[in-house]
Chain A
Amino acid sequence: MAETLSYSMPLALTGLTFAIGIRTGLFNIGSEGQVYMGALAAVAIGSASLSYAGHAHIALTLIGSALIGMLWALIPALLKVYRGVHEVLSTIMLNWTAYYITMYISSQVLVDPARPEKTLSVLESSRFSTIVPGTTLTGGIFISIATALAYYFLISRSVLGYEISLLGSGIDVARYAGVNVRKIMIYSFLLGGIASGIAGGLLVIARPPTYAIYGTLGNIWGYGFEGIGVALIGRNNPIGIILASILYGGIKNGGRFMEYYAGIDSDLVKAINGLIVISLSMPELFRILGRLVRR
């Protein structure tokens, strides 16, 4: 169970990124790249000797991750708002850009001189310690849940959240309601970037034992896209996303053992996981597609 939660921690955040995009009427799939950039920032700040900062080092690291995730999301936002570039195109391209930047910096700049297959590990002062001994579950899960709850409050109670929903239900009604469409679109991207940036940061500073990025990016890869599935299962509602991420984390965690104990090919496990996600996300997927077609 603890291991499941550990998997769900980043997924809840990347799920939020996609969900807030859909709520605004945007198909923002840039989470993956924002995760990479967030992780990179975490390594850079976390491995810097800021130990005099004490526990504030953790906060500093996460803020750095959130900021760079936000900046990375600002690029497609500006392209969309001022140049009309479709967000699917720009975010996919930026995902790959982030991938290669992270690859380069991990292997050339922030590389661990003793173990060149990974980056420097972040210092003790910026690590979340495990809360269940013998597992990889750390206090990072609280950050993840707290962020999801904050987003829930923002979406359902604030003026910003209301204007986001209005824009999502139609650009014409939003303009009629006096919503500044450009501003709200940019905010939506930035909020998404923050969540995924934090996810990337947590993958580094809250996932023992490495507390670093592998040169293959193997330990931070894929969470952004899996977040889409999480968001679809959670019906784009932050509370639903927390629950969906736990379910998804469980599937992911459980799947690891299938080959070992039951002799099932790991690719088959992935395929079955995929089927589960597709089946569960059907209702939401149809709703979204239906809305696109109606326009």
Chain B
Amino acid sequence: MDDSGGRDRPYISMRGIVKIYPDGTLALRGVDLDIYRGEILGLLGENGAGKTTLMKILSGFLRPTRGLIYIDGKEVRFRDPSDAINRGIYMVHQHFSLVPSFTVLENLCLVHGRGFLTTLKGLDLDIVREKAKKLLSVLGLDVPLDIPVENLPVGVRQRAEILKALFIGANVLILDEPTSLLTPYEAKELFRFIKELAQKGAAVIFITHRIREVIEVTDRVVVLRRGLVAGEMITRSATPEKLSELMVGGEAIVRREIATSERNILAGKPILSVRGLVVLDDLGRPVVKGVDLDLFQGEILGIAGVEGNGQSELVEAITGLRSVLKGSVILNGVDITNKTPSYIYKHGLIHIPSDRDRLALALDMKIYENVLIGLQRNPAYHHNIIPRIINWDTVKKAARELIKRFSITAESLDAKARALSGGNRQRLVIARELSKGAKVVIASNPTRGLDIASTSYVRTILRELRDRGAGVLLVSSDLDEILELSDRIAVIYDGKILGILSREEAKRVDIGLMMGGVQAS
């Protein structure tokens, strides 16, 4: 491949891509992107910047609302992923698309020569095996062909997925956060391999939020921010600081007067204290790798970080929903490590979870029944004489009060919670949790998916809580939210707290660097 020729004329051009999801989310607002042969292109951005959406459009999984795609200068339209595959474009998702109980070879058979003739002739396993072996030796790749995919380590599974892509004949390979599941060694292997692939003339697009990886592996980097291209650089001339700035935006922070003096806060004893916490994820891998945190009364401690760096497991471990492998959690002097949620609630903690529809609400139950979640053992809601019998009149009365006080728009108390809009659902959750009167609030992405009015309402409530002396642990992947609300900011990356900054010393760029895994100087 002639390098300079490739530079001159892009292989693929995307022009003016706009994507509006059916729920009204504006994911992309007019993106232009060029992709050259023989190049590793980094696509960098925070959660929700539009990286994955853009690539799903290129690989045929989504259709753009507006905008055009050109291959070799000719306009193309993809109806579904197989159209894109026929053009040699293949996307490796974060969740792999191999059949777990099939061997690698059988998975390859699934995509081998689809069509009427193959169906008639039947499959010749040996042909597939020969072809796969040849491909492996050309690529210098090692993938066992006869082991069921579910028995392979994640890194090998990913290689098998890439093998499948090349087997189909892909020459544009899109990798969505490929290192998120890999060990550092496996990641090194992957980098070596994709560099080789690019040298052979393929285009590799590398979606990531990790600045270090972009610098290590890519040739060119495009930074997306809020559905727009924030900048584009040749990687050689890029610095982590510059990329961080592009990723999280400029220095425009509105500094708000701080209601409580920070010195006062730190003088007291922490109301929630986490020491050396190690937590495993569902697959048994450590994702929280020794976290120390202190939360004081009257402060909002923000935990910033790109999603998937262990914050959700950290929250679950603190709130009793996930077991703690090592370390301790002390709430108000009481050891709550590995205690049940009801024990933890009893000692003054409330949890506003990120996934409110699944965790905090029973959508198929009535609104007033949802008001009782977590309070069902509270005698205040029970019958006066008969124990453990719920007095629904009391519950309904409480529900009516909460609806009024928190201006929740609901048709009737008897309607199902599913009938509420997203904003009203979150108001209901917050109303209920606050009625428990706790001293420590764990709020996880509390404004995600909410409209502007509900967002500012929720933020006001969190500030009020802080001003009344509660300790608020705010976990959010929205950096603006963290900067707006927090008194102190901790940045989590790869299961560890990289640093805790006070609001005065918090610079956007530094936080962005830490979120990308680069320790600020």
Beta-carbon contact of A173 and B361 below 8 Å: yes
A39–B377 CA distance with the chains assembled, in angstroms? 37
Q: A159-B376, A162-B376, A163-B376 known; A173 and B390 CB under 8 Å?
A: no
- Asked whether B157 is an interface residue with its Cβ less than 8 Å from the other chain, the reply is no
A172–B319 CA distance with the chains assembled, in angstroms? 13
- Asked whether B372 is an interface residue with its Cβ less than 8 Å from the other chain, the reply is yes
A209–B135 CA distance with the chains assembled, in angstroms? 79
Total interface residues on B, CB under 8 Å, equals 27
- Asked whether A165 is an interface residue with its Cβ less than 8 Å from the other chain, the reply is yes
Closest CB in chain A relative to B417 CB, distance in Å:
10
- Asked whether A158 is an interface residue with its Cβ less than 8 Å from the other chain, the reply is yes
Closest to B392 in A: A157
Judged by DSSP, the binding face of B is loop
Q: Mark B305-324, 1 if CB is under 8 A from A, else 0.
A: 00000000000000001000
Closest CB in chain B relative to A103 CB, distance in Å:
39
Beta-carbon contact of B390 and A169 below 8 Å: no
**CB < 8 Å neighbour of B359 from A157, A160, A165, A172:** A172
Beta-carbon contact of A178 and B359 below 8 Å: no
Beta-carbon contact of A180 and B340 below 8 Å: yes
Beta-carbon contact of A158 and B353 below 8 Å: no
A178–B372 CA distance with the chains assembled, in angstroms? 12
- Asked whether B70 is an interface residue with its Cβ less than 8 Å from the other chain, the reply is no
Closest CB in chain A relative to B267 CB, distance in Å:
34
Residues of chain A lying within 8 A (CB to CB) of residue B335: none
- Asked whether A291 is an interface residue with its Cβ less than 8 Å from the other chain, the reply is yes
Q: Mark B3-24, 1 if CB is under 8 A from A, else 0.
A: 0000000000000000000000
- Asked whether A93 is an interface residue with its Cβ less than 8 Å from the other chain, the reply is no
- Asked whether A256 is an interface residue with its Cβ less than 8 Å from the other chain, the reply is no
**CB < 8 Å neighbour of B374 from A157, A172, A177:** A177
**CB < 8 Å neighbour of B340 from A166, A172, A178:** A178
Beta-carbon contact of B365 and A169 below 8 Å: yes
Residues of chain A lying within 8 A (CB to CB) of residue B388: 158-160
- Asked whether B363 is an interface residue with its Cβ less than 8 Å from the other chain, the reply is yes
Beta-carbon contact of B390 and A170 below 8 Å: no
Closest to A180 in B: B340
**CB < 8 Å neighbour of A169 from B321, B362, B389:** B362
- Asked whether B341 is an interface residue with its Cβ less than 8 Å from the other chain, the reply is yes
**Count class of interface residues, chain A:** 10 to 19
A194–B73 CA distance with the chains assembled, in angstroms? 73
Residues of chain A lying within 8 A (CB to CB) of residue B373: 166, 173, 176-177
**CB < 8 Å neighbour of B376 from A170, A175, A177:** A177
Closest CB in chain B relative to A272 CB, distance in Å:
33
Which B residues, 365 to 411, have Cβ-Cβ distances below 8 Å to chain A?
Answer: 365, 369, 372-374, 376-377, 382, 388-390, 392
Q: Mark B286-316, 1 if CB is under 8 A from A, else 0.
A: 0000000000000000000000000000000
Closest CB in chain B relative to A259 CB, distance in Å:
44
Closest to A171 in B: B358
Q: A157-B389, A178-B341, A178-B377 known; A173 and B360 CB under 8 Å?
A: yes
Q: A157-B392, A158-B389, A159-B377 known; A178 and B342 CB under 8 Å?
A: yes
Q: A165-B365, A169-B363, A169-B365 known; A176 and B376 CB under 8 Å?
A: no
Residues of chain B lying within 8 A (CB to CB) of residue A175: 321, 341
A48–B153 CA distance with the chains assembled, in angstroms? 63
Beta-carbon contact of A166 and B362 below 8 Å: yes
Q: Mark A27-51, 1 if CB is under 8 A from B, else 0.
A: 0000000000000000000000000
- Asked whether B351 is an interface residue with its Cβ less than 8 Å from the other chain, the reply is yes
Residues of chain B lying within 8 A (CB to CB) of residue A170: 358, 362
Closest to A160 in B: B388
Which A residues, 151 to 169, have Cβ-Cβ distances below 8 Å to chain B?
Answer: 157-160, 162-163, 165-166, 169
Beta-carbon contact of B340 and A173 below 8 Å: no
- Asked whether B345 is an interface residue with its Cβ less than 8 Å from the other chain, the reply is yes
A163–B377 CA distance with the chains assembled, in angstroms? 10
- Asked whether B364 is an interface residue with its Cβ less than 8 Å from the other chain, the reply is yes
A39–B342 CA distance with the chains assembled, in angstroms? 41
Closest to B360 in A: A176
A85–B373 CA distance with the chains assembled, in angstroms? 28
Supply 15 A–B pairs (Cβ within 8 Å), ascending by A.
Answer: A158-B388, A159-B376, A159-B388, A159-B389, A163-B376, A165-B365, A169-B364, A170-B358, A173-B361, A176-B321, A176-B374, A177-B341, A178-B340, A178-B341, A180-B340
Known contacts A166-B365, A178-B374; 4 further A-B pairs (Cβ under 8 A): A176-B341, A176-B373, A177-B374, A177-B376
Q: Report, nearest first, the 3 A-B pairs whose CB atoms are least far apart.
A: A178-B342, A169-B362, A178-B341
